[in-house]
Structure 1
Amino acid sequence: MAGGTVFMVGLAAVLVLMTAVWLASVQRRDASLVDRYWGLAFVLFTGVVWGLSGWPLHGLWIVLPVLFWGLRLSIFIAWRNWGHGEDGRYTAMRAGRSERAFAARSLVTIFWLQGALVAVIGLPMLAVVQADGLWWPLALAAVLVWAVGLGFETLADTQMARFRAEPANRGQVMDRGLWRYSRHPNYFGEIVVWTGFGLLALAAGGWWALPSAVLMILLILRVSGVTLLERRLHDSRPGYADYVRRTNTLIPGPPRG
């Protein structure tokens, strides 16, 4: 099946998933449900395009990494947010709107938009499964890069979860473990993961898919990740300014001072 057709079917599958999640969010009045399905949407997109491409064996080079990464991310976010209600970002979007108006708006600007982003950012997955094969030395290096990133973000998330579980740490700045060397080690790990996905696309000859991996990295840095969180923490965490002074923003390094 032609790559364009495969992409469109994959996109349609993700939009169906996001529409179902939107229906659940309307019932529960919790638009942040979309965050729990972000990783799973990539798993779905990758599985669909792999199947429509004839289940090529070399596709496992990217199918398995996406499966492990997507499941871990969705399970972690669901566990972390369980019982905490809607994320403040979405609550702020509700302000001044009726339930019906917000529901209609959120379908397009939150759920369908994220579904479309999954398909566009997922082009490295399409590039790999549609290729005739991969240059295995680069593919092996790419998977090693991906594994380092996944391990890094998993450890960072685990350390933060343990820190937050201690009542004495409420409102305090996390500056232990990996967080001593980077203010956002989880996002650093995520960027390394997507660098690995981009390298896999390159190993398949899919240079045209590299901008998608770059887009994901830019979203992490400038939109939904580092920049947004830095702004919130400056306002809500006493001592965060001092933490900023002595700790690298993203790339781990020795503390200053």
Structure 2
Amino acid sequence: MGPVLLLLVVAVFLSLAMTGAWLAVSRGAKSGWVDATWSFAIGAAGIAAALVPVEGWEGDWQRRIIVATAAGLWSLRLGLHIVSRTMKGGEDPRYAALKREWGGQWRRQMFYFLQMQAAAALLLTCTIFLAARNPMPGLQWSDLAGIVVLAIAVAGEGIADAQLSRFKQRDANAGKVCDAGLWGLSRHPNYFFQWLGWTGYALIAIGPYGGWAWGWAALVGPAFMYWLLVHVSGIPPLEEHMKRSRGEAYEAYARRVSAFWPFPKQREVST
């Protein structure tokens, strides 16, 4: 199988997966299942992109297994977390806002939106593909560095999600803003660590000396994820929801803590 055919098959799979999510939401399922489907689909696509034999793009077998394992573990942890959150909670405020904005056309608009998510997933899968197919024989220091970054990313995202879940479970915190733990360093530490993981794949793809030209193309993954999380479907709609629901408490929190990068908490200057 050639690389173009493999990525075409992956594209069809991702499109069908998001179509299934659209059908579920259209029939009344909670919108959180969209993100769960997206996470699981990227994991499955990433494993296929790393392990399916591709002529001329064999890469090192150890690297391919490591990359496939990383993609699977990240997808499984995030997907299961979203499933648990969806089953316990209500409608995702970001999708609820989109439904209000789209009005009577929301089903059709949602279909187009989820197909755009499938296209985004394909782009991220290409980053996994390039990481797995680096032709450098044997494991290099860049592979170890990438693995460390990926491990930190998965652990950090998991810790951030767990801290927020524990905060929400306490009745005394109802209506309050979580600024404990990692949430005191970044308003969206889970997004930061999710982005960080894609830099790990890029490190592996570029390799120890940067001699494989295709490896540099893997930087598209972290660059695209940063744009998506910080400027499009991540932080902006969630910030708007938090400002509406938490008011001045969230405004004060935003003045103290960075939106994305985990800077140390600063004291609020009184005026």
1:178 is aligned, of 174, 177, 182, to 182
The residue aligned with 1:88 is 93
Q: State the SS of the aligned residue for 2:263.
A: coil
Contact 1:194 1:217 survives alignment (8 Å):
no
TM-score, L = length of structure 1: 0.89
1:234 is aligned, of 228, 231, 243, to 243
The residue aligned with 2:25 is 25
Matched, 1:47 2:44: no
* Unaligned segments of structure 1, at least 5 residues: none
Q: Distance in 2 between matches of 1:213 and 1:183?
A: 19
Q: Distance in 2 between matches of 1:104 and 1:234?
A: 29
* Unaligned segments of structure 2, at least 5 residues: none
The residue aligned with 1:117 is 120
Contact 1:53 1:129 survives alignment (8 Å):
no
Q: CA offset at residue 23 of structure 1?
A: 2.2
Corresponding pairs, count? 254
1:69 is aligned, of 56, 69, 74, to 74
TM-score, L = length of structure 2: 0.85
Q: CA offset at residue 116 of structure 1?
A: 1.2
Alignment RMSD (CA, Å): 2.2
2:264 is aligned, of 230, 233, 254, to 254
Which digits, 9 at most, give the CA deviation of each residue in 1:134-171, with x for residues without a partner? 66210110110111121111111101000000111111
Q: State the SS of the aligned residue for 2:265.
A: coil
Q: CA offset at residue 3 of structure 1?
A: 1.6
The residue aligned with 1:130 is 133
Q: Distance in 2 between matches of 1:160 and 1:29?
A: 24
Q: Distance in 1 between matches of 2:99 and 2:192?
A: 31
Q: Distance in 2 between matches of 1:31 and 1:186?
A: 19
The residue aligned with 2:84 is 79
In structure 2, relative to structure 1, the CA distance for the partners of 1:173 and 1:94 (3 Å cut) is closer
Q: CA offset at residue 211 of structure 1?
A: 1.4
Contact 1:185 1:252 survives alignment (8 Å):
yes
Matched, 1:211 2:220: yes
> Structure 1: which amino acid aligns with 2:80?
I
Q: Which moved more, 1:167-176 or 1:179-188?
A: 179-188
Percent identity over paired residues: 29
Which digits, 9 at most, give the CA deviation of each residue in 1:70-103, with x for residues without a partner? 11111111111214343233333334644xx533
Q: State the SS of the aligned residue for 2:27.
A: helix
In structure 2, relative to structure 1, the CA distance for the partners of 1:38 and 1:171 (3 Å cut) is same
